[in-house]
Amino acid sequence: MNFDLNILIRPNIRNLTPYSSARDEYTGGEAIYLDANENPFNAPQNRYPDPLQCDLKKKIGAMKEIPADQIFLGNGSDEAIDLLYRIFCEPGTDNVVSISPSYGMYQVCADINDIEVRKVLLNPDFSLDTASLKQACNKHTKLLFICSPNNPTSNSFPKKQILELAENLNLLIVVDEAYIDFSERSSLIEELQKYPNLVVLQTLSKAWGIAGIRLGMALASTEIIKLMSSVKYPYNVNRLTMDYAINALDNQTIKEEWVDSILKERNKMEKKLKMYRFVQKVYPSDANFLLVKVKKPKEVYDYLVSRKIIVRDRSDVPLCEGSLRITIGTKEENSALTNALMQYQRDFVESCE
């Protein structure tokens, strides 16, 4: 395909001289480090972490079958999203296109960076309206965000549709795959070599169960990753996060067991929820949560809060009117939820009949 990345880059970023530490310049292994004004005591935490996270990238690259120089690591996927705005979007001039409804941080990052967001509503069945996505783009559109599986609608989009957009639009297609481990669809990582304008976001927060360490990743061409590494703050991922992630990635069998358990619980939960008379619809899910349309969503939400069970009210989101988003928990947590909903039906539904 004919794609020129340089056309999209902000001129000030293209001309940027990135910050360089002595650790960037010296790669000869162990040494006496007197370059960074560190405290010489309390090793190893006295030393700044590897600014390029080389060991962790090698491990992730081997697992995902992608070169380490095509991986950016950041403080959650949110850092990667923000960097893409700062690299490619001129404040007050450029715009991005996003599906709607979708992950709220695309809008928040745009607002922070003074970038217009052109939202394109999904079809009523939550499928992509590719024609409208194309129409929403103009010469100032730099990024197109597609969350797949999507939050909060919980569905994935056909790979063919996304790649067709990448083929025909001279901008970056950013595919957020935070929930990909729960999906039957394969990742778009395998398409990165063919589509230089494709950026795939993933995270260790969901399937790997380590949201607390805040490690997200962007996978893209070496040119895009080099730009992101130049613009990020020098030591954006701390040593504790890197060490924990490296150890966690050795436990892929446990991660797969967790995913399998969540999927089984998701199927059980879907069947149980459909039995309640106040539940109008349980949408098909390709993620670790269910979107559930109910009568009187605020009443159901408040009732659950009173029982110390917290779900997400999405009833004010376009196409999700009347819906609650329910994360799949442990077997015990899910039982507590369904028992509370059964009691709600007795107290508020059956008593009114």
Domain spans, the chain: 5-250, 253-352
Please give the pLDDT value at position 140: 98
Mean pLDDT of all residues in 41-52: 94
**77 vs 205: CA distance, rounded Å:** 9
High-pLDDT (> 70) share of the chain, %: 97
Please give the pLDDT value at position 348: 82
pLDDT in tens, 86-116: 999 999 999 999 999 999 999 999 999 999 9
What is 253-352's CATH number? 3.90.1150.10
**132 vs 306: CA distance, rounded Å:** 42
Mean pLDDT of all residues in 322-328: 98
Please give the pLDDT value at position 29: 75
Please give the pLDDT value at position 353: 62
249: Cβ–Cβ under 8 A, 6 or more apart, which residues? 59, 60, 63, 208
**101 vs 92: CA distance, rounded Å:** 24
Give one DSSP letter per residue of 220-256, joined into a string: --HHHHHHHHHHS-TT-S-HHHHHHHHHHTT-HHHHH
Please give the pLDDT value at position 22: 65
How does DSSP classify residue 116? E
Fold of 5-250: Aspartate Aminotransferase; domain 2 (3.40.640)
Q: Do domains 5-250 and 253-352 have the same CATH topology?
A: no
Alpha-carbon Rg for the chain in angstroms:
22
Q: How confident is residue 28, by pLDDT bands cut at 50, 70 and 90?
A: confident
Residue with tokens 């077997």: 331
Angle between helices 331-344 and 252-273 (to 10 degrees): 10
First to last CA, the chain: 63
Helix (H, G, I), strand (E, B) or coil at 12: helix
Please count the helices (runs of H) and the strands (runs of E) in the chain: 12, 11
Please give the pLDDT value at position 98: 98
Please give the pLDDT value at position 2: 80
User: Does a cis peptide bond (omega within 30 degrees of 0) precede residue 318?
Assistant: no
- More confident of the two residues 65 and 352: 65
Q: What average pLDDT does the chain have?
A: 95
Q: How confident is residue 26, by pLDDT bands cut at 50, 70 and 90?
A: confident
